[in-house]
Every structure is written in C-alpha cells, then in structure tokens.
Structure 1
Amino acid sequence: MKIICLLVCFITCAAQAQTNFVNGYFIDNQNIRTDCLIKDQDWKNNPTSFTYKLDRESQVETATIEDVQEFGISDYSKYIRQTVLIDRSSEEIKEMSSTRAPENNKETLFLMVLVEGAANLYGYQDGNLRRFFFSTQQNDSIRQLVFKSFKIDKYEIGTNQQYKQQIKVELPCEKITDKQIENLGYNKKDLLKLFNIYNQCGKEESDISTDQPSVYQRKSRNLFKLGLRVGLGHDMVAVKSEVSYYEPMETDYKITLRLGAELEFILPFWNEKVSLILEPNYKSFQSSNLGESGMEVDYSFIEIPLGVRYNFYLTPSSTIFLNAQYAVVPINRGNIHYKNQYTDRKMKPEHHNYIVAGLGVKIKRFTMEARIGTQRDVSIPWESEYKSTNIILGYHLF
C-alpha cells in the first residue's frame, strides 16, 4: 500500500507538471492573426472554444467560436468557422428518420480542415454524428457530402449516398474511376485518399513533387501494442466459517509468480493518452501449515483483466500510467484443506471476479507496475478472501 501511495503522489505531481500548450495561432473577427500557445486537447468532437496563452508565462485565456474565425495547432490541426447546412439525422435505429432527403439546419461550426488544394475536405464530429464537407476552386461554398440512413419500413433500412454523385460531378478526374466512387466509403480514410488523387489530377510529375496539397493530420502511430508480463505477488488466503467452533484461519503471506501477456489498443484521440488493455495471465499460490490444526492451500488460476489505462507523457520515451481493470477468472483449480479437532475438510476454490488498480512507469519498451486488487471470495460454502499485491515487469514486443 505504501508503494501505491507514493506512486499516486508521483503521478499527481507529474500530471500537474505536464504541459499541453503547443505552438499555434488564431485569426479573430478583425482578420488579425495572433501567434500563441494553444492547449492541444486532440478533440474527439469538434470544439466550440479553446484555451491559449500568449507565451509560456502568460495567463490562460479562452477563445470561442464567436470571437475566432480560424485557429490551428502546429502543422497538423486546423479549424475554420463556417455557417453551413448540416443534417444531424441519427444512425441509431430507434431514432432514425423515415425521410430519404437530408433534414438540414443552418449552424455555425468549427470545421476541421482535412486537406486543402484544388478541392478542400472538412470534417465534423459530435458524439456518434460524423459529417464531411467540401469545396472546390470552381465553387468555394462549403457543402455537406450527403450520407444518410433512413427507415423504408419496419424491417428495412435504406441509405442516401448522394455524396458519391456529388464527387462524380464536382471532382471530375481521369484518375478517379466509377468503380472507385462506387466503392468509396463515407469515412475519413477513403475520402482523404480520393481528394488527394483529385488534387494531383492533371499535374505533371515535376509539379506533383513541388506542389503538394496541404494535409492536416497527426503522424500515424501503431495503435496496437503487444507485450510480455512477469510479476511477483505478495498473497494470502483466509477462511471463516459461520460455525463458531471452526476458528478462522489464514495463511502466511507468500511470494507468488505470475506470467502473462498484454494487448493494448491506444484510442486515436485525446492525444493518445487513453488506451484499452487486455492482460491474460497465469498465477499459482501454495501454502502448507496443516499439522493437527491448520490450513493448506494449493491454488492456481488464469485471469483476464480488462480495463482502461491513462498515460501521463513525461518525455517521448517515458510515461507514467494509471490502470483500472475488471478481472475475470474463467479457469481455476486446486484445494483448500482446513483441519482442526472438529473437522478435516477440503474445499474446491471458486474464484470470483474482482477489480484491480495499478500505477506504473514505462521507459522505451520496458514497464514496471505496482498493482493491488480488491479482496475476493475464493471458497464455497465458507466465507473467504484472497488478498494480493503485485509488482509486474513488462516488455513491449511492438
């Protein structure tokens, strides 16, 4: 527990010391550009405001969509204020419209600029709502690329894929085939690829190398990580019967070995600070103190903790992280042997699921984590508990 408390203090200090303010700019309603430091929140949903500082020592200020017509962060994020027609029809079946045509509302939004060139592509997200917009050199008004699901009847759902026709008509290019448009998905990856093809359409090879369209996106990272995990536990088992003459007993604390692997998926937003983790592992516990009166435990199990990790980035190669997981125990085996002058009884362990929390540090590919779990029942029909604190070392293969 002391280790956990020390790591909590360390993480709190590290989190407060972190800075998310990076080089950026904004343009106000008077067309005045201000270079500043903008808090990079890697928005999942398009923002309506942002916080900034004029320099490292300045106070934090807030700018809103009413005050700013454009802002950007470094060379990978740019937003522009536009008043557009947007269809917010739901893709959820319970809330789905029965109208095929888009049901537009006029709104003023910060649109994320995805690519700029002969044709510009913009993105907007609000929860589960995703919409894309575009403009061209021939028509600089920003319009929505129309995609909508709708109910035909109680059992059938149709889709309005007008965006394919819009692209075919307004982005003519000999390098874009009808089959490409037919297979075009309404997603960022497919649309970016097609708009980049169009923006290079008709150019000579020498021009392509010197006149590239502006693409705004973060450098791609491998969002999946696989690692090996080995750890030492400090564990004990205690049992208690409701019958008064069966005295409570507990084992001594024992050092146990755990072996496992960890699969991590980093969520591609919030500056990649949050990830989902799955960590199957094997553990075994033995303790023998039987004699005339005592308890012997021979117990092993496979558990699968599933949970969330939050990362505090200290440097590009070092991270402090906090884990919260729900551990499922699908396989366990062994015996709990309880003996005194009144009984000699063997019970089969039945491990219950439980919650674990961990705090750790990662340096390059290596990790070290201190982890503690909630007390959980391991024997039936008697009341029992299994206590465990672990130090876990890990190595990421990729």
Structure 2
Amino acid sequence: MKKMLFYVAVLLATINCYSQIEFEKGYFIKNNNERVECLIKNEDWDNNPFKFKYKLNHGTSEIFNTIESVKEFGVYSFSKYIRKIVDVDQSSNETSKLDGSRRPILKKETLFLKVLVEGKSNLYGYKRGNLKRFFYSKEENPIKPLIYKRYLNLKHNANLSSFNRSIVNKNLTRNFIYVNDRYKQQLFKNLTCKTISLKEIEKLRYKKQSLSKFFIKYNKCSGYLIDGQYEKETKGFFKVSLKGGVRITSLDIDNSSRYLPSISFDSKTTYKIGVEGEYFLPFNKNKWSLFVEPTFQFFSAKKELPFESLVEKKIIAETNYKSIEVPIGIKRYFFMNEVSKMFVGGSVVLDFNFDSYLRYTRTDGAVIKDFLVRTTNTIGFHIGYIYKNRYSLELTYQNNRDFLTTYYNVRSRYGSMSITIGYTF
C-alpha cells in the first residue's frame, strides 16, 4: 500500500503540466490605450479578478497583469472585463448581518467589472464571495450601481425589550425584513421602450439572468444590434456514472485484554461496485464538482493464531464485513487536451455495514467471542483520468477507520486502496 501511495504522489506532482491548455485567445488594453493580442489563462472567474495571467504566444512564459496596469481585458467569445472606479454597496445580504438602514453603504472601489450585456445600455456584474452587485450605463454616461438592499424593519419591534428583540432577530420572518429595490425605479426612469411595460420591470429580480434578459430586450427595442455577448454562461449540470473495481484492504485488531490475542489479517484483494452522481459547479469552466458515490464493498478473512490459554494452544479469528460506503466530496479537474482530463478530490466516507462480525472460535468451532461490528466514518483521497467525458480510471485511498467502535479495550484499523473504472451515461 505504501508503494501505491508513492504513485499517487507522483501523479499529483505531474498534474501541473496540464494547465497550459487553459490559455485562450484574448487581448488586453494598457493604460496608454495600447491593445495587446495574446493568450489569456481563462479561469472562468467566479469572483471578479484583480489580476490575470497571459502569454504573448504558446512558446513564451506566463506573465501577470494587474488592475493597476490594464484598463480592459477579455477572452474572445467568452468574457470581457473593464476597469472602473464605481460606488459599491458594502451592505451584507446575509439575514444574520442585516442592519436597520434603507440606505446602501456605498464605497468607491477600483474594480474589473464583468461586461454582461453591451448595447445602447450596458449591464455589468461584480462578485466577491457572498457580495453580488450589478451596475449599468447608458450611452456615454458614467457607470452607476443598481441599488438593491435587504434591511431590518426595526420600527416593527422597537417597543420590545432588548432581550425579546434579540430573540426576534434570531427568528426573522418576512414581516421583519424590508427590501430597497430602487434598481427597478432606476431602470423604469432611464431605460424606457415601447415593448417594455411597468409590470415587466416590477417583476425583475436582482439576478444576472433576469437583468441580462431585460437589457438585451431594451437594446433590441432601441434598435441597437448586440454584436455578440461577451458573457458566455457557464451552467451547472449533473452526470451519473456506473463504477466498479478492485480494492486492496487490510485489517488490524489490537486487543489490550489478555483473554484474546491481537491479530493482523493479511491484505486481500476484493471488488466493489457503485453508482456516482456528480454535479459540476457553474463557474471556472466546470472544473469543480460535488459528488456522492454509494458503493458496495466487503472484506472476509480467517486466520489461525497461537494462544496458550486454550488446551489446543490455538485460536481462530474470522471476520466478515459488508457495507455500503457513501463518499461525499469535491473534485477539481485539470484539462490535458480536448478529449482527456485528470482530477483530484477529497471526500468524507460514510459507512453503513450489515451482517458483519468479528469472531474468535476454538479449533472445534465453539465460539469464544463475537464482536459487534460498528465502524466510524473516514476520509478518502481521489485521483483519476477521464477520457471523452465518458470513460474513467480512478485511484482512491481511504484512511484507516475504526472497525469496533463499541469496545473500549479493542482498537482496530481498516484501510483500503482501490482502482475503479467507470462509465458515464
């Protein structure tokens, strides 16, 4: 098993060489308005970046560019960012952190705004963690924030004692939360068109998809053809795979009682079979995914040991362990070329065993001790290769789990390494 761990380390060390294909045709504009055609590392940024990597061509080294030296950059047919100084509302949208003011907390910041829609009127987006804000501009006018803020209706519980008010704030309902949705008024006042009704604006949500559809409709209504949308939507999606393979397992029992011996069962090769459900997250070009993989596995072994306490001077230890393992975890993918990619991942492995036992018997078959098998959860480490988004080969290492959790004087270590092949539907 140590040798297999060494191979995992080698594979992880070589994975960095596959990042080069992420460089795609793009450009950036310097502060002196010089436009540079280049290859930009397209990371499909979830949060708006403050810097990016580029190459002048495939044969050159990577270079960093920052927001201080670049006023605009983009990846062709994918995304575009422009540097602007804008007022950003710093108010939290988390219910537990809402304040009692209707006014946004505006602070000037220099940002790379993501261009979502371009035309007579432009829509921009900004995301930093849980902070999501949208901005707009019309023709040559300055970029302005679209105002949206959730806040507490403190007048509603102003007469409550401080103790009762704290209880109310911990159990907020919609009756205690107001919304400043001035962005609707801004759009109704500044972006009017014959095909857009007041009712349509009233239904607008402060979401990228909803606002993008509105701005596209406004630009078309205004007679401005949109020359391709820079914002190429990365959507999440779900896949199901059938998986099966072999695993090398080992089990050691340390018995501190002098009445029964400790034992190390020989490593065994068994099989496993399962189904994986995987959701690819809608950012970073779907390089991150969440997965769950219910899997049937088993381990069966029998061993004869010397034991002076018995007349026959021997004792037999036997185990039969069957369970449904449920790894729940996350993967990170690395593209090698158009048909191949690799991934690394980690998981928490839940274990549900059934009809399992550890038993000590005499040589004539008489039972000396039956142990009830109750296992702990553990963690898993995954590395794999995907071909044509359909065929997979995966190496998984699971850390030792306790095999007999209900016995204070017995310690056990059950670990495994597995090789799995998969087919994605």
Q: TM-score, normalised by structure 1?
A: 0.91
Residues 240-296 of structure 1: per-residue CA shift (max 9 Å, x gap) = 211134221233333322221111122222332222111111222222446952112
AA of the residue aligned to 1:232: V
Q: Secondary structure at the match of 2:151?
A: strand
The residue that corresponds to 1:388 in the other structure is 416
Equivalent in 274, 277, 286 of residue 260 of structure 1: 274
Aligned pairs for 1:127-166 (under 5 A) are 127-137=129-139, 140-153=141-154, 154=169, 155=172, 156-166=176-186
Match of 1:274 among 254, 277, 288: 288
Q: Which of 53, 56, 62 in structure 1 is aligned with 2:55?
A: 53
Aligned with 2:244 (options 230, 239, 249): 230
Distance 1:98 1:61, change over 3 A: same
The CA distance in 1 between the partners of 2:117 and 2:14, in whole Å, is 39
* One of 12, 20, 25 as aligned partner of 1:23: 25
1:157-176 aligned at under 5 Å gives the runs 157-176=177-196
Distance (Å, rounded) in 2 between the aligned partners of 1:338 and 1:177: 80
Amino acid at match of 1:394: G
CA distance in structure 2 between the partners assigned to 1:17 and 1:234 by the alignment:
29
**TM-fit CA distance, 1:330:** 3.8
Change (3 A) 1:222 1:251: same
> Is the Cα–Cα contact under 8 Å of residues 89 and 105 in structure 2 kept in the other structure?
yes
> Taking every aligned residue pair, what percent have the same amino acid on both sides?
34
Q: 1:376, 1:386 within 8 Å by CA — same for their partners in 2? A: yes
Does the Cα contact within 8 Å between 1:7 and 1:360 map onto a contact in 2? Answer: no
Amino acid at match of 2:392: T
Residue aligning to 1:95: 97
Secondary structure, aligned partner of 1:369? strand
Of the structure 1 ranges 355-364 and 8-17, higher mean CA displacement relative to structure 2 is found in: 8-17
Read off the aligned partner of 1:333 and give its amino acid letter.
Answer: D
- Give the corresponding residue for 2:218: 198
Q: Describe the SS at the equivalent of 1:158.
A: strand
Quote the residue 1:367 is aligned against. Answer: 392
Q: Which segment drifts farther, 166-175 or 357-366?
A: 166-175
Greater mean deviation of Cα atoms: 304-313 or 239-248: 239-248
Residue 39 (structure 2) aligns with: 37
Return the alpha-carbon distance in structure 2 between the equivalents of residues 23 and 33 of structure 1: 13
The Cα shift of 1:7 comes to: 4.0
Deviation larger for 366-375 or 337-346: 337-346
Please state how far the C-alpha of 1:25 moved relative to its aligned partner: 1.1
Which residue matches 2:368?
Answer: 344
- CA contact 1:196–1:213 (8 Å) conserved in 2: no
**3-state secondary structure, aligned to 1:375:** strand
Match of 2:7 in 1: 6
Distance, in Å, in 1 between the alignment partners of 2:272 and 2:318 is 20
User: How many pairs are equivalent?
Assistant: 390
- Report the Cα offset of residue 309 of structure 1: 0.9
Q: Which position in structure 1 is the counterpart of 2:73?
A: 71
CA distance, structure 2, for counterparts of residue 90 and residue 61 of structure 1: 35
Contact residue 237 and residue 279 of structure 2 kept, 8 A: yes
Give the SS at the match of 1:374: strand
Of residues 349-358 and 2-11 in structure 1, the stretch that sits farther from structure 2 once superposed is 2-11
> CA 1:393 to 1:61, structure 2 compared with 1: closer, same or farther past 3 Å?
closer
Tell me how far apart the structure 1 counterparts of residues 319 and 34 of structure 2 sit (CA, whole Å): 74
Structure 2: runs of 5+ lacking an equivalent:
155-168, 306-313
SS of equivalent residue, structure 2 residue 336: strand
Which has the higher mean CA deviation after the structures are superposed, 63-72 or 9-18?
Answer: 9-18
Q: 1:225 to 1:359 in 2, by over 3 A?
A: same
Q: Verify: 1:328 aligned to 2:355, yes or no.
A: no
Structure 2 letter corresponding to 1:239: I
Alpha-carbon distance, 1:188 to partner: 0.8
1:101 and 1:213, CA in 2 relative to 1: closer, same or farther beyond 3 A? farther
One-letter amino acid matched to 1:136: K
Q: Which amino acid aligns with 2:205?
A: G
Deviations 1:348-373 (A, max 9, x none): 11011011112111112011111111
Partner AA of 1:249 in structure 2: I
- What is the CA–CA distance in structure 1 between the aligned matches of 2:29 and 2:222, rounded to whole Å? 33
Measured at CA, do residues 181 and 330 of structure 1 come closer, stay the same or move farther in structure 2, by a change above 3 Å?
Answer: farther
In 1, the alpha carbon distance for the partners of 2:197 and 2:5 equals 59
Q: Check the 8 A contact 2:270/2:298 in 1, yes or no.
A: yes
Change over 3 Å in CA distance of 1:18–1:50 after alignment to 2: closer
* Residue 222 of structure 1, CA deviation: 5.1
| Cα distance change of structure 1 residues 394 and 17 upon mapping to structure 2, 3 Å threshold | closer
- Report the equivalent of 1:316: 338
In structure 2, C-alpha distance between the alignment counterparts of 1:191 and 1:41, rounded to whole Å: 24
- CA distance in structure 1 between the aligned counterparts of 2:400 and 2:284, rounded to whole angstroms: 33
> In structure 1, what is the Cα distance between the partners aligned to 2:359 and 2:327?
28
- The question of whether the paired residues in 2 share the 8 Å contact of 1:250 and 1:295 is answered with no
- By how many angstroms is 1:40 displaced? 2.2
Shift, 1:63, TM fit = 2.4
Do the aligned partners of 1:332 and 1:351 also contact (CA within 8 Å) in 2? no
**Deviations 1:61-84 (Å, cap 9, x if unpaired)?**
332222221111122111111121
CA contact under 8 A between 2:236 and 2:282: conserved in structure 1?
A: no
After superposing the two structures, state which structure 1 stretch, 157-166 or 90-99, moved more: 90-99
1:82 aligns with 2:84: yes
In 1, Cα distance between equivalents of 2:83 and 2:379: 45
SS at match of 2:16: helix
Structure 2 CA distance, aligned partners of 1:57 and 1:213?
32
SS in 2 for 1:252: strand
